[in-house]
């Protein structure tokens, strides 16, 4: 049986920003449920909802204080059950963020753990004595700036936090912690959830010897306030070998249910991130699939995309990748890659055409299907902790998290009748759903997703790259019965290629194919149906 997730399109919903139905300016579960037809009409197969669990919201829900309760700003367990039922009625699967590596400092587990060194929860978090001079136990950095250790005077020890000081790391070397985490996952599976998106999946374990990290091989002068993290080879504070055994326990749990899928977020950069994706998806006893930030950065070259895909093919020949260009942690792709674009519209279409041609599972972040751009914010509008701390060197993640826009001329573009938690500005409202039209970006996404689903080559075909110079990315997607050659111009300048062999342009495209040449406008693209012998050259 073909598992549903292998050729799925997964639509990420950031719940604070999707639809506010209670009028307090923060999106909620009932709002998501009301807008599910939009996702179904788009052609997506599944929604991924960012954290909705009880939380003080210091890091917008990624600081969980109760793993089995819905935060009241989003609704109730009954609202969650209704959302699951409505999604399933529309043929949509539902997965939810599981933030397992750390909790909020307001979680009952941590409140108990910090009281003393000998209580039942004392070893549930990562505690360590100060060095003789009072300094932290290791040189590890926090992602959000400063040391990854915070001194707690109540215990007279430091605790580990890879992110905010208010996000202490759980001690996965403790078997009781693992059992408790698995119980919380089982709770949601029993309520009908179809799987998990596992946040920071390579951060669960730390080095028990508490060895300090060596300098990064290519370390240089940092250029941003939070770049200290990247000045180390982070080999002792994450991606420890014990991670794999925990993933196998989690997979054993999900395998007790029908049709469950887990996708892990690999918190790493560069080629190493592709290697970890391979390790974590190898075989049938770990993750079903994984993604990294490899395609979520500034790199926009044919060589980069080819290296990402071929690197995964080599590292995990039996694994399965998940590719996306945007999410709630990075600037929106249309803005991020603007220097390579003819226009925002042209970049949005190129990104969609490229992404839908990649082998594996595809992720879309809300608003991407509208060609949404990054929102420019002033300091007084910020909510993201690292941005507030390090402004103006760090702009933070708020710019990609502003509310979904439904109706251009409605208050707050139809998101809320109250004051939104982040502002809706005119450049974003201009991309509203009701402004898209028959030839807009939304229609293009619908057409391209439908084309992908109707094509065996795009949904199940293997990938073989063509050798062409920058800025052309080209490859065959091929099954025994069908071959599509996918060609993309990653520059704003037109390109003409020599063509040899028979072929026919099909599906969404903006290119011209003759008997001897393929002409691509700036940011042009084409899917060419052929027998696998089509040759292209510069």
Side-chain half-sphere exposure of 291, counting CA atoms within 13 A: 21
* 362 C-beta neighbours (distance < 10 Å), count: 24
Which pLDDT score is estimated for 267? 87
Average of pLDDT values for 75-96?
Answer: 98
List, in order of start, the domains of the chain with CATH numbers: 9-103+173-452 (3.20.20.80), 462-537 (2.60.40.1180)
Q: Could you say which of 20, 21, 169, 268 is catalytic?
A: 268
268 classed as catalytic? yes
Distance CA 156, CA 116 (A): 9
Which pLDDT score is estimated for 221? 47
The pTM of this model reads 0.96
Distance CA 426, CA 437 (A): 18
**Mind listing the pLDDT tens digit for each residue in 112-140?**
999 999 999 999 999 999 999 999 999 99
Which pLDDT score is estimated for 13? 98
Joined tokens for residue 146: 């400063």
Contact, 443 vs 437, CB < 8 A?
yes
Q: Which residue has the higher pLDDT, 283 or 37?
A: 37
199 classed as catalytic? yes
Average of pLDDT values for 335-350?
Answer: 98
Distance CA 93, CA 5 (A): 9
Distance CA 175, CA 244 (A): 15
Distance CA 125, CA 39 (A): 39
Q: What is the mean pLDDT of the chain?
A: 95
Which pLDDT score is estimated for 2? 63
Distance CA 426, CA 344 (A): 15
Distance CA 74, CA 67 (A): 14
SS3 of residue 522 by DSSP: coil
C-alpha distances out from residue 238 to 21, 143, 203, 296, Å: 40, 12, 5, 20
**Mind listing the pLDDT tens digit for each residue in 237-271?**
999 999 999 999 999 999 999 999 999 999 887 78
Q: How many residues does the chain have?
A: 538
The share of the chain scoring above pLDDT 70, in percent, equals: 98
Q: Could you say which of 21, 59, 199, 369 is catalytic?
A: 199
**Mind listing the pLDDT tens digit for each residue in 401-445?**
999 999 999 999 999 999 999 999 999 999 999 999 999 999 999
User: 415-419 contacts: CB < 8 A, separation 24 or more?
Assistant: 415/17, 415/19, 415/20, 415/27, 416/19, 416/20, 416/23, 416/24, 416/25, 416/26, 416/27, 417/20, 417/23, 418/20, 418/23, 418/24, 418/25, 419/25
pLDDT above 70: residue 109: yes
- Residue 262's DSSP bridge partners are 196
Average of pLDDT values for 533-538?
Answer: 93
* Residues in CB range of 221: below 8 A, 6 or more apart: none
Per-residue exposure over 441-465, b if at least 16 CB sit within 10 Å of its own CB, e if not: bbebbbebbebbeebebbbebebee
**Mind listing the pLDDT tens digit for each residue in 179-235?**
999 999 999 999 999 999 999 999 999 999 999 999 887 644 444 445 688 889 999
């Amino acid at each position: 049986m073909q598992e549903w997730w292998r050729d799925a399109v997964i639509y990420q919903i950031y719940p604070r920003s999707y639809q506010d139905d209670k009028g307090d300016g923060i999106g909620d579960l009932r709002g998501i449920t009301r807008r599910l037809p939009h996702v179904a009409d788009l052609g997506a197969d599944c929604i991924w909802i960012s954290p909705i669990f009880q939380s003080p919201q210091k890091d917008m829900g990624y600081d969980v204080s109760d793993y089995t309760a819905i935060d009241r700003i989003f609704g109730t367990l009954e609202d969650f059950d209704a959302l699951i039922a409505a999604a399933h009625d529309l043929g949509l699967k539902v997965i939810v963020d599981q933030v397992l590596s750390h909790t909020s400092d307001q979680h009952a587990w941590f409140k108990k753990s910090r009281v003393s060194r000998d209580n039942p929860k004392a070893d549930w978090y990562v505690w360590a004595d100060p060095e003789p001079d009072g300094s932290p136990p290791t040189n590890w950095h926090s992602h959000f700036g400063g040391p990854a250790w915070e001194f707690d005077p109540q215990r007279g020890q430091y605790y580990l936090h890879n992110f905010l000081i208010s996000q202490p790391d759980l001690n996965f070397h403790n078997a009781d912690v693992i059992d408790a985490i698995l119980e919380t996952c089982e709770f949601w599976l029993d309520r009908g959830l179809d799987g998990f998106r596992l946040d920071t999946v390579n951060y669960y374990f730390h080095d028990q010897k508490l060895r300090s990290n060596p300098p990064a091989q290519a370390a240089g002068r940092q250029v941003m306030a939070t770049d200290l993290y990247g000045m180390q080879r982070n080999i002792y504070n994450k991606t420890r070998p014990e991670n794999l055994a925990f993933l196998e326990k989690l997979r054993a749990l999900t395998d007790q249910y029908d049709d469950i899928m887990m996708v892990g977020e690999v918190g790493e950069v560069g080629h190493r991130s592709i290697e970890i994706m391979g390790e974590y998806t190898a075989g049938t006893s770990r993750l079903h699939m994984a993604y990294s930030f490899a395609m979520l950065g500034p790199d926009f070259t044919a060589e980069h995309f080819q290296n990402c895909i071929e690197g995964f093919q080599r590292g995990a020949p039996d694994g399965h990748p998940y590719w996306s260009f945007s999410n709630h942690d990075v600037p929106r792709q249309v803005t991020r890659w603007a220097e390579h674009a003819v226009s925002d519209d042209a970049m949005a279409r190129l990104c969609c055409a490229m992404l839908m041609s990649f082998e594996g599972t595809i992720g879309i972040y809300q608003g991407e299907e509208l060609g949404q751009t990054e929102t420019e914010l002033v300091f007084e509008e910020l909510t993201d902790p690292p941005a507030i701390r390090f402004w103006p060197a760090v702009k933070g993640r708020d710019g990609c998290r502003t509310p979904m826009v439904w109706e251009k001329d409605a208050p707050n573009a139809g998101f809320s009748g109250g004051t939104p938690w982040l502002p809706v500005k005119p450049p974003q409202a201009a991309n509203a759903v009701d402004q898209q039209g028959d030839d807009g970006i939304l229609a293009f996404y619908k057409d391209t997703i439908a084309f992908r689903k109707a094509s065996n080559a795009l949904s199940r075909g293997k990938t073989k790259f063509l050798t062409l110079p920058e800025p052309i990315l080209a490859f065959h997607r091929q099954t025994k019965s069908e071959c599509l050659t996918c060609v993309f111009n990653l520059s704003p300048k037109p390109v003409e290629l020599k063509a040899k062999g028979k072929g026919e342009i099909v599906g969404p495209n903006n290119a011209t194919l003759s008997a001897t040449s393929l002409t691509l406008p700036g940011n042009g693209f084409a899917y060419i149906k052929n027998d696998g012998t089509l040759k292209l050259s510069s």
